[in-house]
Amino acid sequence: MSGHKAKKQFGQNFLVDQNIIADIVRAIRPAADDNMVEIGPGLGAMTRPLMQHLNKLHVVEIDRDIIARLKTDYPQDKIVIHEGDALKFDFATLGTPLRIVGNLPYNISSPLLFHFAKYAEGITDMHFMLQNEVVERMVAEPSTAAFGRLSVMLQYRFYMEKLLDVPPQSFRPAPKVDSAIVRMIPLPAAQITVKDEALYAKVVASAFGQRRKTLRNTLRDYLAEDDFAQLDINPQLRAENLGVAEFTRIANFLNERAVPSP
């Protein structure tokens, strides 16, 4: 698979370190009958070892040059190629339960993660290579520098774990950032207590909109002084000091207030 030039517009950095590849495949533990899709197979660093374990692998790829290679370099009875943008792809069409893997383009990783979250109910697990800084934000604890909107928006839907670090020299071309592998497992529906997801997202976005300001300021369109008292949340705190449970409490409180009594 030599000769392909990485394309900047697709955020392409190709994994070439065989030891790291083996570690990732071990972490994923693909089984023959798994319904698995790989996002952006690129030059096949992960595709080939995954296919050694799977009866069939779905791939989503936007780069036409790579699609042409996928059609000639792999046994076509074992690979199902979906041409197009993963951000617009309907993963429900692949059936359930679904396992998702991929080296995600770093320039669109956050929108992609939110896109996958829509299909969480039908997903068994997801294993992604991402910029290390993004993985640190995903798994961060409240009141730490890395904790932010991404942490709160993903942690209420997924159990997440950083599995391993991947240095720049593991890629061609070498990116300017460190990378990491993260495992995401959707939480059971019974554990998700957010009643209105859109409202939860709005509250979180407002709270983190101005990180240095207190909740009294950032949530003033939503909560009055006595609302904070009722919620047992200190309005002098900042968004980064609240965890998923507190944001859920705020969103559900607002949801109940907006829903007229029967």
What's the CATH number where 247 sits? 1.10.8.100
Mean pLDDT, all residues of the chain = 93
Q: What span, in angstroms and rounded, lies between the C-alpha atoms of 240 and 242? A: 6
Pair (156, 212) in one structural domain: no
90-139 tens-digit pLDDT? 999 999 999 999 999 888 999 999 999 999 999 999 999 999 999 999 99
Asked if pLDDT for residue 141 goes beyond 90, the answer is yes
Assess if residue 177 is contained within a domain.
Answer: yes
Whether residue 206 contacts residue 152, with contact meaning beta carbons closer than 8 Å, is answered with no
Assess if residue 3 is contained within a domain.
Answer: no
Pair (209, 155) in one structural domain: no
Mean pLDDT of 136-143: 98
188-247 tens-digit pLDDT? 999 999 999 999 999 999 999 998 999 999 999 999 999 999 999 999 999 999 999 999
Domain count, the chain: 2
Could you say which of 166, 190, 214 is where a domain stops?
190
Asked if pLDDT for residue 4 goes beyond 90, the answer is no
φ, ψ at 138 (rounded to 5°): -65, -40
Residue numbers of the domain that contains 26: 8-190
Could you say which of 131, 166, 190 is where a domain stops?
190
Pair (40, 158) in one structural domain: yes
* Higher-scoring residue by pLDDT: 207, 4: 207
Assess if residue 253 is contained within a domain.
Answer: yes
